[in-house]
Amino acid sequence: MHAKKQTTNLEKVFHEPNRLAIMSALASAGEDGLSFGELRVVCRLTDGNLSRHLQAMEEGGVVRVEKTYVERKPRTTVTPTRAGLDRFGSYLAALEQVLVEARAALPARHRVRVTGALRAATA
Protein backbone atom coordinates (compact mmCIF):
# COMPACT_ATOMS: atom_id res chain seq x y z
CA MET A 1 0.00 0.00 0.00
CA HIS A 2 2.93 2.35 0.66
CA ALA A 3 4.09 2.10 -2.99
CA LYS A 4 0.63 3.17 -4.12
CA LYS A 5 0.96 6.32 -2.01
CA GLN A 6 4.33 7.11 -3.63
CA THR A 7 2.85 7.03 -7.11
CA THR A 8 0.90 10.18 -6.26
CA ASN A 9 4.27 12.00 -6.28
CA LEU A 10 5.03 10.79 -9.80
CA GLU A 11 4.13 13.92 -11.71
CA LYS A 12 2.55 13.26 -15.08
CA VAL A 13 4.59 16.07 -16.67
CA PHE A 14 7.73 13.92 -16.17
CA HIS A 15 6.27 10.42 -16.07
CA GLU A 16 6.53 9.69 -19.78
CA PRO A 17 9.72 8.25 -21.28
CA ASN A 18 10.37 11.10 -23.72
CA ARG A 19 9.73 13.80 -21.13
CA LEU A 20 11.97 12.01 -18.66
CA ALA A 21 14.71 12.00 -21.33
CA ILE A 22 14.14 15.67 -22.12
CA MET A 23 14.30 16.76 -18.49
CA SER A 24 17.32 14.55 -17.80
CA ALA A 25 19.19 16.10 -20.73
CA LEU A 26 18.26 19.62 -19.65
CA ALA A 27 19.19 18.99 -16.02
CA SER A 28 22.67 17.92 -17.04
CA ALA A 29 23.12 20.72 -19.61
CA GLY A 30 23.58 23.55 -17.14
CA GLU A 31 22.14 27.04 -17.03
CA ASP A 32 22.45 27.65 -20.78
CA GLY A 33 20.08 24.81 -21.60
CA LEU A 34 20.09 23.18 -25.01
CA SER A 35 19.05 24.28 -28.44
CA PHE A 36 16.01 22.62 -29.94
CA GLY A 37 18.28 20.81 -32.41
CA GLU A 38 20.62 19.54 -29.70
CA LEU A 39 17.69 18.33 -27.63
CA ARG A 40 16.13 16.63 -30.65
CA VAL A 41 19.37 14.72 -31.36
CA VAL A 42 20.09 13.80 -27.73
CA CYS A 43 16.54 12.55 -27.13
CA ARG A 44 16.14 11.02 -30.61
CA LEU A 45 12.81 12.70 -31.28
CA THR A 46 11.21 14.17 -34.37
CA ASP A 47 10.63 17.93 -34.52
CA GLY A 48 6.88 17.49 -34.08
CA ASN A 49 7.17 15.05 -31.20
CA LEU A 50 9.69 17.23 -29.35
CA SER A 51 7.54 20.32 -29.94
CA ARG A 52 4.47 18.64 -28.43
CA HIS A 53 6.37 17.47 -25.35
CA LEU A 54 8.01 20.88 -24.85
CA GLN A 55 4.64 22.60 -25.12
CA ALA A 56 3.21 20.39 -22.36
CA MET A 57 6.30 20.88 -20.22
CA GLU A 58 6.24 24.64 -20.74
CA GLU A 59 2.54 24.77 -19.82
CA GLY A 60 3.44 22.74 -16.72
CA GLY A 61 6.01 25.36 -15.74
CA VAL A 62 9.02 23.04 -15.81
CA VAL A 63 10.84 24.40 -18.88
CA ARG A 64 11.28 27.73 -20.59
CA VAL A 65 11.36 27.91 -24.38
CA GLU A 66 12.98 31.04 -25.82
CA LYS A 67 13.04 31.92 -29.51
CA THR A 68 15.74 34.31 -30.67
CA TYR A 69 17.81 35.04 -33.73
CA VAL A 70 21.53 34.36 -34.00
CA GLU A 71 23.09 35.89 -37.12
CA ARG A 72 19.64 36.19 -38.69
CA LYS A 73 18.89 32.52 -38.09
CA PRO A 74 16.13 31.44 -35.71
CA ARG A 75 17.31 29.66 -32.59
CA THR A 76 15.10 28.00 -29.99
CA THR A 77 16.70 27.40 -26.62
CA VAL A 78 15.15 25.25 -23.91
CA THR A 79 16.10 25.60 -20.25
CA PRO A 80 14.62 24.03 -17.12
CA THR A 81 12.99 26.41 -14.67
CA ARG A 82 14.13 26.45 -11.05
CA ALA A 83 10.74 25.13 -10.02
CA GLY A 84 11.03 22.50 -12.76
CA LEU A 85 14.37 21.28 -11.41
CA ASP A 86 12.97 21.17 -7.86
CA ARG A 87 9.93 19.21 -9.02
CA PHE A 88 12.11 16.91 -11.13
CA GLY A 89 14.29 16.16 -8.09
CA SER A 90 11.16 15.30 -6.07
CA TYR A 91 9.88 13.16 -8.94
CA LEU A 92 13.15 11.22 -9.09
CA ALA A 93 13.12 10.65 -5.33
CA ALA A 94 9.54 9.35 -5.48
CA LEU A 95 10.36 7.14 -8.48
CA GLU A 96 13.39 5.75 -6.68
CA GLN A 97 11.25 4.89 -3.65
CA VAL A 98 8.67 3.14 -5.83
CA LEU A 99 11.43 1.13 -7.51
CA VAL A 100 13.02 0.15 -4.19
CA GLU A 101 9.67 -1.04 -2.89
CA ALA A 102 8.81 -2.87 -6.11
CA ARG A 103 12.21 -4.62 -6.14
CA ALA A 104 11.79 -5.65 -2.49
CA ALA A 105 8.33 -7.07 -3.25
CA LEU A 106 9.66 -9.36 -5.98
CA PRO A 107 10.57 -12.92 -5.05
CA ALA A 108 14.37 -13.18 -4.74
CA ARG A 109 14.73 -15.31 -7.89
CA HIS A 110 13.22 -12.49 -10.00
CA ARG A 111 15.37 -9.65 -8.66
CA VAL A 112 18.12 -8.28 -10.82
CA ARG A 113 21.36 -7.53 -9.04
CA VAL A 114 22.46 -3.92 -9.10
CA THR A 115 25.90 -3.64 -10.66
CA GLY A 116 28.72 -1.68 -9.06
CA ALA A 117 28.55 1.04 -11.72
CA LEU A 118 24.82 1.50 -11.27
CA ARG A 119 25.13 1.41 -7.49
CA ALA A 120 27.83 4.14 -7.63
CA ALA A 121 25.73 6.26 -10.00
CA THR A 122 22.71 6.16 -7.71
CA ALA A 123 24.63 6.70 -4.46
Calculate helix-pair angle for 17-29, 47-59, nearest 10 degrees.
Answer: 80
Report which of 24, 63, 60 is spatially closest to residue 43, judged by C-alpha positions: 24
pLDDT given at position 10: 84
Residue 50 has pLDDT above 70, yes or no: yes
Alpha carbon of 15 to those of 28, 49, 50, 54, 73: distances in Å? 18, 16, 15, 14, 34
Domains of the chain: 7-92 (1.10.10.10)
pLDDT given at position 2: 47
pLDDT tens digits, 81-121: 999 999 999 999 999 998 888 888 888 877 776 665 455 55
Average pLDDT of the residues in 25-51 = 96
pTM exceeds 0.85 for this model: no
